[in-house]
Structure 1
Amino acid sequence: MKKALFLAASVALAGFSHAQAADTKVSIGISGWTGFAPLTLAKEAGIFKKHGLDVTLPKVPQASRHLALASGDIQCAATTVETWIVWNAAGVATTQIFQLDVSHGADGIAAKPGIENVAGLKGKAVAASAPGTSPYFLLAYILAKNGMTMKDVKIVNMEPGPAAQALLAGQNDAAVTYEPYLSAVRAAPDKGKIIATTLDYPAVMDTFGCTTTFLKEHPDAAKALAASYYDALEMIKKDKDKSFEIMGKDVKQSGKEFGESAAYLEWQDKAAAKKFFGSTFKSFNEEAAKILLDAGVIKTKPDLSKLADPSFIE
């Protein structure tokens, strides 16, 4: 009897220990950007759990996401490629492990009626989030492509959502924003006009990364995070309506509205990510680092060759 009880207790304990070991806790800092939504789907549909992960997805403003990484409040994050340059230049050691999405018109600059093009922004008040964020970089990138600099405009620091809302309310002359907020401007042409997007300026590509400490201590969890993302993409393919409803709910959109926002970007599968890290990633980083230096966002360029490790998706 004692032997049977001992064996039963041992099995139960072993099962408990296995569950504890399998459910690696990971906190991932994101925003309401449509491109990050498959991560929300992976959580809400139980995909992360299936891969032995206990994931939380706090909404952390991009301007302070690196501080949350540095403090340990989050271990991983989703953000634009050039932002990892900024974070590493600031001493927050992080590494990108897989690609999330590419913007095909989902990011852009909207201006009040009467401003027809980028040149028309000279001397105007443009709402954009703080230095070190994607909207700030996109503005610098687009201005540079038009022979201008950040000194040619008056920056009003506002997050993408409020920036779009302010423009529609008649405040500021322009706003740098992204989906789903950009669609609010598309729906009100009498109040704002989109004068530039990533269709003409392909400068917004998002990736997923973690602190180097987390990757060193939890390599299997890192692989599971990537696998979960790809499973979420498969779920979208197989049941788009249900997936869009789940992802839209997180940003207070209907499935239909979410689908309209998602049409302006492309989520990247494993094959696309491998190709990206072997080509576009390197050339874009060099160009982005120069723009960041010229804009005064970073003081020194970090070692760009160490900013990604796609071996986690091999």
Structure 2
Amino acid sequence: MKCKETAVPGMILGLLFFCCLMACSQPEEPIRIGISTWAGVEPAELAARKGFYEKRGVDVEMVRFSAYKDSIEAFREAKVDADMQTFDDAIRLYAAGRKMKVVLFTDYSFGGDGIVARKGIDTVSDLKGKKVGVEIGTVSHFSLVKALDTAGLKEEDIVIASIPAWEIKGAFIKGKIDAGVTWEPYLTSAAKDGGGRVIITSRDYPKTIVTTMVMSDDMISRRPDDVQKVVAAYFDAVKFMKAHPGEAYAIMAQAEGESVEEFTAHVEGIRYIDIETNKAAFGTMQDGELFDVGRNLTDFLFEKSMIKTVPDIAGLMDGGFVNNLR
């Protein structure tokens, strides 16, 4: 009887130890990163296809969405752990209560966004009294205001039609609008297929439209080492792209469903942000180059009633992972 009394607890302890060992040895779930069509974010996909995440020791699953809005919603609903999204959308989600951080900046638009207009509308000044399609409360709307300002115009001087950026091309071709604000690949193809022309691009207001990788606070708190590996692998891809642009562009073009020539043309409209430029963007003590951009976007979103409160941008940005890189 005494043997049985001592054996049972021993068996239980052994079983508990075995279960603990098995639990500890279980592989982590892959970090799911949402991505949609935009040349500036494709280094994240390149990192997956070239095995850079794996080489860094982290399992990543790229989740591609055909519509950008679906990518945002997936991150909002925690269906993905990270997402590639514009700075203004990150601010909007953060202001709405999403626990998240910007962990790196991917690129800024330098001609990849702009305004397409009908024949006879040759300058921004010619937009006065015209119907212009734009997605209200987005960075496209913000850039439209900046473009109008260069011509001495205000929003009240045009007729605004609220249309998602990816639907601008269709509305323009069908003659529903006189002009529209969108991005590549829709910008160039809208001008070509709709018989119009691009009258102004983000080259005229650089570092206004910035794209980011955002990560959930939950993932950062539970697996900070893996988040660090994701960030490192992303910049491995950026370095590879600079060293081997031909191979890199072919891979990224395939991911976007474009020819290499089309993808290369779109790359000309952006500027990729490398490690050192990221460090300058984050800066220290809220003095980074993109803090002012974030504050301006926040004020704009609040003014347009797209957010209910003005969040502290410093709470959204986490440059620690970038600053850890050498």
Using the size of structure 2 for normalisation, the TM-score is 0.82
Q: Go from structure 1 to structure 2 and tell me whether the alpha carbon gap of 1:75 and 1:183 turns closer, same or farther (over 3 Å shift).
A: same
Which residue number corresponds to residue 191 of structure 1? 195
Matches within 5 A, 1:1-314: 20-21=27-28, 24-51=29-56, 52-59=58-65, 61-63=67-69, 65-129=71-135, 131=137, 133-143=138-148, 146=151, 148-185=153-190, 187=192, 191-202=195-206, 203-278=208-283, 279-313=288-322, 314=324
Tell me which amino acid in the other structure corresponds to 1:181. Answer: Y
Tell me which amino acid in the other structure corresponds to 1:308. Answer: M
Unmatched runs of 5 consecutive residues or more in structure 1:
1-13
For the residue of structure 2 that corresponds to 1:55, the secondary structure is strand
Q: Go from structure 1 to structure 2 and tell me whether the alpha carbon gap of 1:167 and 1:287 turns closer, same or farther (over 3 Å shift).
A: same
Deviation at 1:122, TM superposition (A): 3.4
Aligned-CA RMSD value: 2.6
Which residue number corresponds to residue 5 of structure 2? none
Tell me which amino acid in the other structure corresponds to 2:120. Answer: G
Of 248-257 and 150-159, more deviation after overlay is shown by 150-159
User: Which digits, 9 at most, give the CA deviation of each residue in 1:163-200, with x for residues without a partner?
Assistant: 12442454411121112222324656x81221221111
User: Which digits, 9 at most, give the CA deviation of each residue in 1:180-238, with x for residues without a partner?
Assistant: 222324656x8122122111112111111111112111211211111111111122122
For the residue of structure 2 that corresponds to 1:176, the secondary structure is strand
Q: Go from structure 1 to structure 2 and tell me whether the alpha carbon gap of 1:143 and 1:30 turns closer, same or farther (over 3 Å shift).
A: farther
Q: Go from structure 1 to structure 2 and tell me whether the alpha carbon gap of 1:126 and 1:31 turns closer, same or farther (over 3 Å shift).
A: farther
Of 291-300 and 52-61, more deviation after overlay is shown by 52-61
Tell me if structure 2 keeps the 8 A contact 1:34–1:180: no
Question: Distance in 1 between the 2:116 and 2:260 partners?
Answer: 25
Tell me which amino acid in the other structure corresponds to 1:88. Answer: Y
Question: Distance in 2 between the 1:82 and 1:152 partners?
Answer: 25
Question: Distance in 1 between the 2:72 and 2:176 partners?
Answer: 30
Question: Distance in 2 between the 1:309 and 1:118 partners?
Answer: 37
Equivalenced residue count is 297
User: Which digits, 9 at most, give the CA deviation of each residue in 1:120-171, with x for residues without a partner?
Assistant: 333433223353x432333244345555554544443444343124424544
For the residue of structure 1 that corresponds to 2:237, the secondary structure is helix
Question: Distance in 1 between the 2:149 and 2:93 partners?
Answer: 22
Question: Distance in 2 between the 1:145 and 1:287 partners?
Answer: 17
Q: Go from structure 1 to structure 2 and tell me whether the alpha carbon gap of 1:171 and 1:223 turns closer, same or farther (over 3 Å shift).
A: same
Tell me which amino acid in the other structure corresponds to 1:156. Answer: A
Q: Go from structure 1 to structure 2 and tell me whether the alpha carbon gap of 1:217 and 1:130 turns closer, same or farther (over 3 Å shift).
A: farther
Tell me if structure 1 keeps the 8 A contact 2:86–2:210: yes
Q: Go from structure 1 to structure 2 and tell me whether the alpha carbon gap of 1:164 and 1:78 turns closer, same or farther (over 3 Å shift).
A: same
Of 303-312 and 25-34, more deviation after overlay is shown by 25-34
Question: Distance in 2 between the 1:130 and 1:72 partners?
Answer: 25
Q: Go from structure 1 to structure 2 and tell me whether the alpha carbon gap of 1:120 and 1:295 turns closer, same or farther (over 3 Å shift).
A: farther
Using the size of structure 1 for normalisation, the TM-score is 0.84
